[in-house]
Amino acid sequence: MLETLCNFFDAYGEYSRQRINKNKNKFYTSNMSMARKQALASLTGFQHGSLPFTYLGIPLFKGKPKVVHLRAIADRLAAKMAGWKGKLLTIMGRVQLVNYVLSGMLAYLFVPNLFLGCLFT
């Protein structure tokens, strides 16, 4: 099945001239033997990667979020708050603004991880 997928990607690359750069791509597994990981690497030409990692600014991880996963969110929120004109807002306005921005950031960051959880279980 994996050979069929690799053949499909090769055929797509020939047709569209959009080829996969095998040096820039990785595959991710869970609970797989090292021999099988090496076999996948040799078959696909991709390297094996490990979780957690950041993709397009989103931390991707498996399982329950830990402090290290949420640190980037806290840092980004602090950077956004530093740029706001907080003196122009009431205290309740600031609370609403923080809640709005934080909920949007969490939704943006955790929806891909929920999808990944379905893939890795």
What are the pLDDT digits (tens) for 57-67?
777 777 777 78
- pLDDT bin (cut points 50, 70, 90) of residue 26 is confident
What is residue 121's predicted lDDT score, i.e. its pLDDT? 44
Q: Does the pLDDT value for residue 114 go beyond 60?
A: no
CA angle at residue 23 from 17 to 29, to 5 degrees?
110
What is residue 84's predicted lDDT score, i.e. its pLDDT? 64
Percent of the chain with pLDDT over 70: 85
What is residue 110's predicted lDDT score, i.e. its pLDDT? 65
| Averaged pLDDT, 79-89 | 69
What is residue 71's predicted lDDT score, i.e. its pLDDT? 81
| Averaged pLDDT, 33-49 | 87
User: What are the structural domain ranges in the chain?
Assistant: 1-50, 54-121
What is residue 86's predicted lDDT score, i.e. its pLDDT? 62
119 membership: H or E segment, kind and range: helix 91-120
46 contacts 25 by C-beta, under 8 angstroms: yes
The SS3 assignment for 31 reads: coil
15 membership: H or E segment, kind and range: helix 2-16
